[in-house]
């Protein structure tokens, strides 16, 4: 797990997601199944959820090589709803390992502000 700033792509899990999307290796169905096996996603899976929210809600900030074609299978009403629900759980200070990470660094407030904006516009 490597995090260097509070942005949705400022961590190693999100960068791996971007590479997998570019290469056509990412399956949200497989990812969702893996997440279903635990009560709360670990910090890396939580970072992937946040990055997916950002990819769908902030097209102007997408990394190079990620466009509509790479997101076509992900951008459905069902998936948006699932991602929104997951992001809300990730923002729960009592149950989120990613929240705990940012709390430990003293940057939880800044991270919550950046992340909460993603869940409001993902409809």
Cβ contact 34:45 at 8 Å: yes
Tens digits of per-residue pLDDT, 14-69? 999 999 999 999 999 999 998 887 777 888 999 999 999 999 988 888 999 999 99
- Give how far the C-alpha of residue 107 lies from the chain's centroid of Cα atoms, to the nearest Å: 17
Rounded to an integer, what distance in angstroms lies between the CA atom of residue 99 and that of residue 88? 11
Confidence of residue 1 (pLDDT cuts 50, 70, 90): low
pLDDT number for residue 18: 97
Instruction: Express each pLDDT in 87-123 by its tens digit.
Output: 888 888 888 888 998 899 999 999 888 887 766 544 4
Domain boundaries, the chain: 12-121
Residue 123 and residue 116: Cα distance in Å, rounded? 13
pLDDT at 2: 84
d(CA 39, CA 119): 20
Task: Please tell me the predicted confidence (pLDDT) of residue 95.
Answer: 82
């Amino acid at each position: 797990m490597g995090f260097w700033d509070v942005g949705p792509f400022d961590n190693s899990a999100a960068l791996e997601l971007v590479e997998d999307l570019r290469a056509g290796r990412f399956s949200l169905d497989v990812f969702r199944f893996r997440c279903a096996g635990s009560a709360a996603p670990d910090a890396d899976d939580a970072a992937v959820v946040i990055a997916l929210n950002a990819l769908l809600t902030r097209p102007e900030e997408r990394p190079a090589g990620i466009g509509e074609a790479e997101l076509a299978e992900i951008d459905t009403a069902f998936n948006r709803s699932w991602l929104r629900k997951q992001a809300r759980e990730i923002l729960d200070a009592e149950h989120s390992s990613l929240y705990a990470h940012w709390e430990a660094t003293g940057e939880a407030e800044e991270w919550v502000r950046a992340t909460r904006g993603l869940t409001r516009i993902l409809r």
